[in-house]
């Protein structure tokens, strides 16, 4: 048993649980929260079969009424069309304000179902049940919900803090290796921006495991001791997000540091549908570019860039801009980012491991040069 992490904001407090087998405790935790209305369980098609059915059975056996809905897998589901389908389902089946939405899946489900919970009947309770590494470490914690717009990612949404986040690391055993590797980008990011010790722990683990050129081999190849260690590392990374969100719920200050690598990462995602780049893969490219910008501006050492690059690659991530992607197009999309202020991109740039600054004076010519090379 581990002590729950606690997010404390102006909207209230809620626990964040990171543990193997955590989903088994969901009925008791919902009862302790006083949530006895209908539970609206949302997942994608793959997760619905693997985890949705047994979870629904467990909840029903505990006396809860459960309604289920599955959406197609993939980033394309973070759309107005899928949001309206959720509204039709919820409203058509008689959702009430005492009810709760359970978001079971990755970041797409957490964002989409979370926004539905934030807006239907002007807001009902939300429970985040992340089943991907990326969602556990980042998307499920902090209350950001929303959908994409043709002009960019996550441009429509709302802050809606969950009542509980329950991350069961046993679900990671069923993830494809590529999705696991994409999630490690967010773990590494938290080491760079705030926890140098976490970064060093990740380096040490990679050195001990000797994963080879392909990087991280996945949960399936891990023994009990390694899975316990990986769970502890994930929890440490989640603790970074919990601390930052508790200090800055609505991204008015230091929460912007969590967007390290995301300014260019989101732009790359928006332009690489044909390559089907995963979020974490795009963020890894954005982190490498941001670190190189920081070196060019005299903010950090070249050694930091090298260590970050080696660690990203050790966990199966690439740092090169996808072949054929136009740097001018990347920059143009980045300028539409929701964190742009007065026409200037606010860049999160490293100064040392565990420390970053926010700058809005990065010359566009420098960004072009870094992207082009």
- Count how many Cα atoms sit within 13 Å of the Cα of residue 84 in the half-sphere of its side chain: 3
Q: Residue 238 in contact with residue 16, Cβ under 8 Å? A: yes
Distance CA 98, CA 37 (A): 6
Question: Could you tell me where the beta strands, DSSP code E, fall in 108-159?
Answer: 125-130, 144-149, 152-159
Residues paired with 145 in a beta bridge: 158
Catalytic residue ranges: 122, 144, 186, 241, 251, 255, 259, 262, 266, 279
Residue 137: how many CB atoms within 10 A of its CB? Answer: 29
| Of 126, 144, 106, 143, the residue nearest 30 (C-alpha) | 126
Distance CA 273, CA 275 (A): 5
* Tokens coding 326: 């136009």
Q: Rg of the chain over CA atoms, in angstroms?
A: 20
Distance CA 293, CA 298 (A): 9
Distance CA 165, CA 141 (A): 7
Distance CA 307, CA 291 (A): 11
What sign for the dihedral angle of Cα 253, 255, 260, 266?
negative
* Tokens coding 285: 């490219």
| Of 78, 103, 80, 139, the residue nearest 26 (C-alpha) | 103
Distance CA 290, CA 259 (A): 11
């Amino acid at each position: 048993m581990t002590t729950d992490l606690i997010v404390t904001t102006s909207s209230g407090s809620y626990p964040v649980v990171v543990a193997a087998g955590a989903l088994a405790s969901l009925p008791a935790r919902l009862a302790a929260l006083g949530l006895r209305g209908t539970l609206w369980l949302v997942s994608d098609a793959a997760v619905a079969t693997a985890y949705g059915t047994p979870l629904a059975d467990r909840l029903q056996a505990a006396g809860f009424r459960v309604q289920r809905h599955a959406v197609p897998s993939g980033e394309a589901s973070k759309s107005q069309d899928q949001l309206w389908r959720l509204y039709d389902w919820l409203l058509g089946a008689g959702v009430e304000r005492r009810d709760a939405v359970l978001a079971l899946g990755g970041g797409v489900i957490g964002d989409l179902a979370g926004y539905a919970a934030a807006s239907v009947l002007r807001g009902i309770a939300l429970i985040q049940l992340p089943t991907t590494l990326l969602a556990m470490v980042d998307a499920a914690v902090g209350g950001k919900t929303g959908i994409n717009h043709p002009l960019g990612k996550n441009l429509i949404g709302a802050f809606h803090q969950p009542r509980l986040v329950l991350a069961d690391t046993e679900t990671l055993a069923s993830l494809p290796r590529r999705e696991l590797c994409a999630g490690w980008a967010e773990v590494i990011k938290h080491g760079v921006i705030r926890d140098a010790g976490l970064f060093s722990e990740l380096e040490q683990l990679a050195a001990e495991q000797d994963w080879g050129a392909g990087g991280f081999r996945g949960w399936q190849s891990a023994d009990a001791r390694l899975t316990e260690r990986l769970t502890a590392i994930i929890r440490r990374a989640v603790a970074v997000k919990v601390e930052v969100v508790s200090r800055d719920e609505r991204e008015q200050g230091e929460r912007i540091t969590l967007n390290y690598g995301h300014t260019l990462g989101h732009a790359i995602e928006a332009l690489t549908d044909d390559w089907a780049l995963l979020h974490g893969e795009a963020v890894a490219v954005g982190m490498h570019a941001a670190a190189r910008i920081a070196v060019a501006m005299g903010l950090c050492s070249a050694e930091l860039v090298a260590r970050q690059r080696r660690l990203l690659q050790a966990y199966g991530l690439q740092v090169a801009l996808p072949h054929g992607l136009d740097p001018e197009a990347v920059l143009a999309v980045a300028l539409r980012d929701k964190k742009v202020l007065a026409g200037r991109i606010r860049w999160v740039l490293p100064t040392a491991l565990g420390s970053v600054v926010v700058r809005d004076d990065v010359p566009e010519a420098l960004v072009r040069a870094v992207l082009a090379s």
